[in-house]
Amino acid sequence: MGYPGPTSRSAELYERALRRIVGAVNSPARSYAAVGLPYPVFIARGQGAYLWDVDGNRYIDYLAAFAPGILGHAHPEIVETIARAAADGTLFGTPTPYEVELAERLQAAIPSLERVRLVSTGTEAVMSAVRVARAFTGRPKVVKFEGCYHGHSDFALIRAGSGPATLGQPDSAGIPESTAAEVIVVPYNDAAALEAALERWGDQVAAVLIEPIVGNMGIVLPEPGYLQAVRDLTHRHGALLIFDEVITAFRVTYGGAQNVLGVEPDLTTLGKAIGGGLPLGAYGGRADVMDRVAPLGPAYQAGTLAGNPLSVRVALKALDILGRPGVYEELDRKGRYLAEGVLAAARRHGFAAQVNRMASGFTLFFTDRPVRDYASASTASKELFARFFREMLGRGVLLAPSRFEAWFVQIPHSQADLDETLAAADAALAAMAA
């Protein structure tokens, strides 16, 4: 156990990767730069709640692949489904019976999805939903919220959270000023700021795009009445409301966070958990809006791999498993147990800390302030988080390498795993306090 040293296979693979893969990672969020380590662990395989790196170290996995992981690794029913689906062929370029069933089941789980389109990633889902909103309203601008992340399409990277914030690049290079000019960014949990923005630009705003519960400045919950105020303001100004549920759907509950928050958007974007570990995204919502998408309407959106049968059949199996009685109650119980335990340990060792939790996902912020928006999330100590990450990794617990991410509890995490994790956290925090 422990961070693999300079003669490890992880270190060796990193050197090789650096020569051919940009920065040695295929997504910048996977870099360990923000946590002060020279290279990330290279994972060879996973089983249930555990990952093993190429040097044979075992980690209890709360990274959960940045949220999709709920079922755990190599779930036997998923493995069997993949084998069966692969034997039937993986890509046809035609409609399939599986995607019809998935569209029906998504609508049954999230009633606002009157029409849906399957895509391959969350980025595509959001990019496409915004295009449709622009096509429907004939307006150019989008309102988004400081610290929310919606993938890496141009408009979405204007002051985004999580990966870009960790790298200190709220705005990416390569995005034209003209794109930034169509994006209005306001603080989350501040209805007055949104109202002021819509008073000023409302007749140009196609959509207000929001994570109904934020996952990308760490977990941040909407304050009571906030999302209803957002809904009312969009109605008043004729803008569509898009809920980006790429993280929240099938994480907070079976269906969307909208099912429990009691506010219905016009459009919803999905990704991460719905694919059961394979690439799959979706967007959908009101029929009159979605019917503007090609081939019915003028808003073009397409995909060679969209709705590929392998991902879709795995998604159907994932929904079967997630829909079983008690799954979300148990995830919630484990999330609460761990979140409360970690917070208590941090405070016991004298650290100012906060926990924000949505069911089985939570963030530990090293700050003395309640975290309700990006400004307060940014007060969380980078240094303390980095140290905590390293101490946990060295004790066999894998977290996301950013203070703006979350821990995600998965179905196979056992009580013994949770207790081992709390013991590791206690020891990590003791070492930090020493």
* Binding footprint of ligand PLP on the chain (CB under 6 A): 66, 121-123, 126, 149-151, 211, 215-216, 244, 246-247, 271
**Choosing from 32, 39, 266, 272, which is the catalytic residue?**
272
Q: How far is the CB of 166 from ligand PLP (least distance, A)?
A: 12
Residue with tokens 């956290």: 425
Contact partners, residue 223, CB within 8 Å, separation at least 6: 189, 372
Q: How far is the CB of 289 from ligand PLP (least distance, A)?
A: 19
**Choosing from 39, 62, 149, 226, which is the catalytic residue?**
149
Would residue 144 show up in a list of annotated catalytic residues for this protein? no
H helix intervals, 47-121: 76-87, 97-109
Is-contact 250 320, C-beta < 8 A? no
Would residue 32 show up in a list of annotated catalytic residues for this protein? no
Q: Say how far apart CA 39 and CA 28 lie, in whole Å.
A: 12
Neighbouring C-beta atoms of residue 33, cutoff 10 Å: 17
Q: How far is the CB of 258 from ligand PLP (least distance, A)?
A: 14
Q: How far is the CB of 209 from ligand PLP (least distance, A)?
A: 9
Q: How far is the CB of 433 from ligand PLP (least distance, A)?
A: 32
Is-contact 67 406, C-beta < 8 A? yes
Closest CB to ligand PLP: residue number: 122
Q: How far is the CB of 125 from ligand PLP (least distance, A)?
A: 7
Q: Which two tokens stand for residue 415?
A: 């009580």
Which long-range contacts (C-beta less than 8 Å, at least 24 apart) are formed by 133-136? 133/206, 133/207, 133/239, 133/240, 133/242, 133/266, 133/267, 133/289, 134/206, 134/207, 134/299, 135/292, 135/297, 135/298, 135/299, 136/206, 136/240, 136/288, 136/289, 136/292, 136/299
Q: Say how far apart CA 239 and CA 227 lie, in whole Å.
A: 15
Q: Which is nearer to ligand PLP, 351 or 404 (CB)?
A: 404
Q: How far is the CB of 8 from ligand PLP (least distance, A)?
A: 28
In our burial notation (b when 16+ CB lie closer than 10 A, e otherwise), range 77-101 reads ebeebbeebeeeeeeeeeebebbee
Would residue 149 show up in a list of annotated catalytic residues for this protein? yes
**Choosing from 53, 55, 61, 244, which is the catalytic residue?**
244
Q: Which two tokens stand for residue 321?
A: 């498993």
Angle at 164 between CA 8 and CA 12, to 5 degrees: 10
Q: How far is the CB of 41 from ligand PLP (least distance, A)?
A: 20
Q: Say how far apart CA 240 and CA 376 lie, in whole Å.
A: 28
Q: Say how far apart CA 63 and CA 74 lie, in whole Å.
A: 16
2: left (phi over 0), alpha (psi -120 to 50) or beta: left
Is-contact 63 400, C-beta < 8 A? yes
Q: Which is nearer to ligand PLP, 51 or 67 (CB)?
A: 67
Neighbouring C-beta atoms of residue 43, cutoff 10 Å: 17
Q: Which two tokens stand for residue 8?
A: 């490890």
Q: What are φ and ψ of residue 240, in 5° steps?
A: -80, 150
Q: Which amino acids are annotated catalytic? A: 149, 244, 272
